[in-house]
């Protein structure tokens, strides 16, 4: 249980740090947010828990393919915001696009 709390706290601190930096310097905050921190932390926790090289390789490869469908969201949201769409609606539309692209990616990657 303590291990789970440590994982959650460390992960949360990194996300909070990125948002605090973004409040002061949007570009630096975006750079931190664009780092694959969640992926790297996930790989670290998975490796610590399993030491399974095949599982780690599968995880890293799948992460690559799921990053791709998330990228259009970061183009769409600024376009919508600059067009006068509210933040929350732009976020929902961006997430819906990403979800749809995830489904398409899963279909394309299915054996």
Structure-token pair, residue 26: 């949007």
pTM given for the model: 0.70
Would residue 93 count as lying in a domain?
Answer: yes
Q: Within a domain: residue 34?
A: no
| Structure confidence by residue, pLDDT tens digits, 84-111 | 999 999 999 999 999 999 999 999 988 7
- The reply to whether 10 falls in a domain is no
pLDDT at 42 over 80: yes
Residue 89 lies in a domain: yes
| Structural domain includes residue 107 | yes
57-81 pLDDT, tens digit per residue, is 999 998 898 889 999 999 999 999 9
For residue 86, being part of any structural domain is answered with: yes
The number of distinct structural domains making up the chain is 1
45-60: per-residue pLDDT in tens?
A: 899 999 999 999 999 9
Residue 109's domain comprises 71-111
Question: Contact, 18 vs 32, CB < 8 A?
Answer: yes
**Is 23 inside a domain boundary?**
no
Distance CA 50, CA 43 (A): 10
Contact 19, 29 (CB under 8 A): yes
């Amino acid at each position: 249980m303590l291990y789970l709390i440590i994982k959650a706290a460390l992960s949360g601190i990194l996300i909070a740090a990125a948002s605090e930096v973004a409040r002061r310097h949007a570009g630096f905050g975006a750079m931190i947010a664009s780092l694959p921190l969640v992926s790297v932390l996930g790989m670290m926790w998975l490796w610590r828990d399993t030491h399974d090289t095949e599982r780690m390789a599968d995880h890293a490869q799948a992460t690559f393919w799921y990053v791709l469908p998330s990228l259009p969201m970061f183009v769409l949201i600024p376009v919508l915001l600059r067009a006068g769409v509210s933040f929350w609606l732009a976020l929902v539309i961006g997430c819906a696009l990403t979800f749809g692209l995830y489904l398409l990616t899963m279909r394309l990657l299915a054996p």
